[in-house]
Structure 1
Amino acid sequence: MKKILITGSNSYIGTSLEKWLRKYPDKYSIGFKSLRNDLWKKHDFSEYDVVLHMAGIAHVSSDPKMEEMYYKVNRDLTIETAEKSKEEGVKQFIFMSSIIVYGDSSSNKRIIDKNTVPTPSNFYGNSKLQAEEGIKPLENDKFKVAILRPPMIYGRGSKGNYPKLAKVAQKLPVFPDIDNQRSMLHIDNLCEFIRFVVDNEDSGLFFPQNNAYVKTSEMVKMIADVHGKKIILTKLFNPILQVLGHKSELINKVFGNLIYDQSLSDYKENYQIRDFRKTIELTEK
């Protein structure tokens, strides 16, 4: 049986993974540990095989007053947790990084491949990248380090941009039809991927994503359809939105392009168990 410690007691991914692994009661034992104060430093990690590090600041902020906190939590706390894990005999440390290390989405087509160099555009992305760089040197034959850089994660109960778009899909009669592409990852596909990484005791850098790219307008229409709503897609607003896209962070978040080359996300086992339509149905219903 694999004993897994998840840091961050209220993380969406962590709690979702715990529910996912309940299907295998004889294979996994899950524990949670909050890192909000220094009491965690006294906790014995030696009883665990795996530490899945989810503790961190997940949202993007442009407030300069927050910068020091991002580095303290997302970078320094990650490195400190990994060092403790190694010192106390944990065999595998899994760190949840983000596609944000490559910068923001763009109004131009943008494909991230194996040669793309990370270029964070804010201190959230940079704190994640520096955390990665801080834990990689800790790896050896007895301590595996796996770093995941997922794109936007969504699912029932998720936070961020997806639920905002879902609300729009149920209210607006029309929506802009802009030809963009985004990599996304449903929570079930991610949980299955993490399960395989644990089972295989993997190390390295990973880029899990759904097996199909997403066009924002088609996703909004699909969400509306699941709720029995009708929404008309129109290109009428495209010229204005394309101009605004060069100036507006919000427009880029909604209609920008940011995808992984699918070959980056290949894995030796099939973790992409949900097609896109099914993920929308599970998320909305």
Structure 2
Amino acid sequence: MGRILLTGASGFVGGAIHEYLSNSSTHKLTVALRRPMSSLPVTTTLAQIDQIDGVTDWSRALLDSDVVIHAAARVHVMQESSTDPLTSFRKVNVEGTLNLARQAAEKGVRRFIFISSIKVNGEETSLGVPYTACAEPAPADPYGISKMEAEKGLMRIASESGMEVVIIRPPLVYGPGVKANFFNMMKWLYRGVPLPFGAICNSRSLVALDNLVDFVVTCIDHPKAANQVFLVSDGDDLSTTELLKKMGRALGKPARLLPVPSGVLTLAATLLGKKTLSQRLCGSLQVDITKNRELLNWLPPVTVETELDAVAKDFLDKHV
């Protein structure tokens, strides 16, 4: 039974991975955290790590580890506070990641799974022309650049050390406890606020938290995942209008959507300094997961409707 070191277990994605692996009898688990969690299963070991950067000592956390799942990161935010965002992202996402990977390779870790981001590919696709795992990276912001640089560094370490690397680039992840724009949309739908998103004909890939966790777990031991890059999604792309309708159904509150043309929304958002938000609501971003099916025989086990029902239940239980 191999031991897995998981970073980022207090985060949205890392927390879900932690919950799944904590209930698994296949692997022992070490979680690296800044502060102790309220309770840990007897099969889980805590390794306290105060910060993640280029000089962090991972020796205790890596003890007896066979696999590392690196979900910790300085995450992308809509309102950046740093005066030098790229340097701040590089400190954690590049220097911190590669420092951990080098020490993992030296300790004989077999596989290093890196939770990256679709932002490595870019911000937008043409309708019907999805990103693929082999597409040339084109990150457009400091967060995406830092993830790309980490990926390149990991592949160099893999080629030099023989440690296997798996890179996973999810798009928007949603599930119980989701925050930010997804949460705000649910709040507005529940309150019956009319929204001007009834005529948007874009297409966006999302990934349910349960599907992402399932894919990560698949990559722990699958021999064909070694040294591969994967994009992951639900395999069911939706327009913003379709997503809001499904969210309203899950909440039991039919969406009140006004058919405002997307061009008008884009112009208004640009004038208000919200161009990035407009792109997310009106633009397309699709990913192709054919590689996952053909190489790993993986298909998303959870439907969009099932995950949205879980999200809605969590929202209603906690916020209504």
TM-score, structure 2 as length reference: 0.81
The unaligned stretches of length 5 or more in structure 1 are none
Match of 1:90 in 2: 109
2:40 counterpart residue number: none
Q: Distance in 2 between matches of 1:197 and 1:108?
A: 29
Considering only aligned residues, what root-mean-square deviation do their CA atoms show, in Å? 2.3
CA gap of 1:197–1:114, structure 2 versus 1, over 3 A, is: closer
Match of 2:65 in 1: 48
Larger relative contact order (C-alpha < 8 A, sep ≥ 6)? 1
**Correspondence 1:1-285 to 2 at 5 A:** 1-24=1-24, 26-34=25-33, 35-37=49-51, 40-60=57-77, 62=80, 63-105=82-124, 111-114=130-133, 116-140=135-159, 142-171=162-191, 172-177=193-198, 178-201=200-223, 202-203=225-226, 204-244=228-268, 248-266=275-293, 267-285=295-313
> Identity of aligned pairs, percent?
26
- Please, which moves more after superposition, 243-252 or 188-197? 243-252
Q: Relative to 1, partners in 2 of residues 1:270 and 1:107: Cα closer, same or farther, differing over 3 Å?
A: closer
Distance 1:276 1:53, change over 3 A: same
Q: CA deviation at 1:44?
A: 4.9
* Mapped partners of 1:108, 1:273: distance in 2: 25
Amino acid at match of 1:229: K
The SS at the match of 2:241 is helix
Residues 133-158 of structure 1 show CA distances to partners (whole Å, capped at 9, x for unaligned) of: 11101115841100111111110012
Residues 107 and 252, structure 1, Cα contact 8 Å, conserved in 2: no
- Segment of structure 1 superposing worse, 48-57 or 30-39: 30-39
Deviation at 1:230, TM superposition (A): 2.0
- Cα deviation, residue 278, structure 1: 0.7
Distance between the aligned counterparts of 2:124 and 2:180, measured in 1?
A: 15
Larger deviation, residues 214-223 vs 134-143? 134-143
Q: CA deviation at 1:106?
A: 6.0
Greater shift in the superposed pair: 118-127 or 167-176: 167-176
Query: What runs of 5+ residues in structure 2 fail to find an aligned partner?
Result: 34-48, 314-320
Aligned residues: 284
> What does the per-residue CA deviation read over 1:49-102, in whole Å, with 9 as the maximum and x for residues that have no partner?
111111211123555433211111111100000000000111110111100012
Q: Which residue number corresponds to residue 46 of structure 2? A: none
TM-score normalised by L of structure 1:
0.90
SS in structure 2 at match of 1:278 = helix
**Contact 1:169–1:221 (CA<8 Å) still a contact in 2?**
no
Describe the superposition over 1:89-146 as per-residue Cα deviations: whole angstroms up to 9, x where unpaired. Answer: 1111011110001222368665213553111111110000000011101115841100
| In structure 2, C-alpha distance between the alignment counterparts of 1:57 and 1:144, rounded to whole Å | 24
Bigger drift between 81-90 and 211-220 goes to 211-220
* Counterparts of 2:230 and 2:214, CA distance in 1: 14
AA matched with 1:20: Y
Deviation at 1:249, TM superposition (A): 1.1
Deviation at 1:264, TM superposition (A): 4.0
Pairwise CA distance, 1:31: 1.4
| CA displacement at 1:167 relative to structure 2 | 1.8
Cα distance in 2 between the residues matched to 1:28 and 1:271: 23
